[in-house]
Amino acid sequence: MAHVNRSRHRPVVTAAVVGVLACVAAIVTAAQAQHARPPEHSAPARTAAPNAALRQGPFGVRAYGKFRDMAQGQDYQPKAKLGDVKAEGATDAVGALSGLRGEITMLDGRFIVSYGDGCTACPPPHAETATLLASGKVAEWAAPIVLLPESLAGKALEHFIVARAKEAGLDMSMPFPVRLKGTLTDVSMHVLKAPNAKFTGHGSAHPMAAQDEIKAAAIAGEVIGFFAPPALAGVISHPGEPFHFHWVNETRSKTAHIDAFGMAKGTLLSFPKP
């Protein structure tokens, strides 16, 4: 029998075995990884509310939709179901119905909806959807309530609210709800009716929507608003504006978006307790 030099052939055998073991390990690792996570097609699409990351601050202010998306992208699609917002524990909210069909306000956990074109068979508020909504949860409103020492309007009123909010200890880097109750003066408000086909986006010569205009020298009621720090201006308020305000009548049966207004001397101003 011819003598075989086994020491010369051993490295070849060892390399082959190592190669086989490496292939087996790779196959096992791939199989384990495949079982460690479900296939992409089996994962359901996320149905969480848009902009969920925008829930901010001690009052859990949440933004559904964005003002700038409405103005720049003409996005009027549903972003939240009002029943879901209520179920999350919201107490205050302001916004617009999907399709720009009307206005939404929430006070003490109850939604008030006004339709620009009215409706003969209005759905219950919890079944409605919003294309834009800012909501928050207030467990307790701070005392004492601030009385306006004089009639204020426009930027002077906004500055007064901001100054009193700072004194109340609110974090001005975070959004928060605010309320006023009294007589509104020189009021300009609207209730959305439907998208305007001539509107071409931000800066258009035509308004974004057809709307019912409401103007009054004086009108009683409540104002529900949200303060928008710079990071949220254009999201929960018009771009460049620190507040988004809605009016609610004294019986809390009608609401409207406020474009311009003042408040008479003696108005009650309320902040959530920090």
Both 226 and 259 in a single domain? yes
And the tokens for 175?
């959004």
User: Is residue 2 included in any domain, yes or no?
Assistant: no
Tokens 């294309």 belong to: 131
Residue 97's nearest CA partner among 179, 199, 211 is 211
User: Is residue 26 included in any domain, yes or no?
Assistant: yes
| pLDDT value of position 144 | 79
User: Is residue 62 included in any domain, yes or no?
Assistant: yes
Mean pLDDT by 10 residues, the chain (274 residues): 43 45 47 42 39 70 94 92 96 97 97 92 93 96 91 98 96 96 98 92 85 97 97 93 98 97 97 93
| pLDDT value of position 86 | 96
Range of the domain at 179: 146-270
Residue 88's nearest CA partner among 121, 46, 55 is 55
CATH code at 56? Answer: 3.30.1330.80
Domain count, the chain: 3
Both 255 and 188 in a single domain? yes
CA distance 159 to 241: 12
User: Is residue 1 included in any domain, yes or no?
Assistant: no
CA distance 115 to 102: 4
Both 219 and 129 in a single domain? no
Residue 100's nearest CA partner among 77, 84, 118, 119 is 77
| pLDDT value of position 54 | 58
User: Is residue 166 included in any domain, yes or no?
Assistant: yes
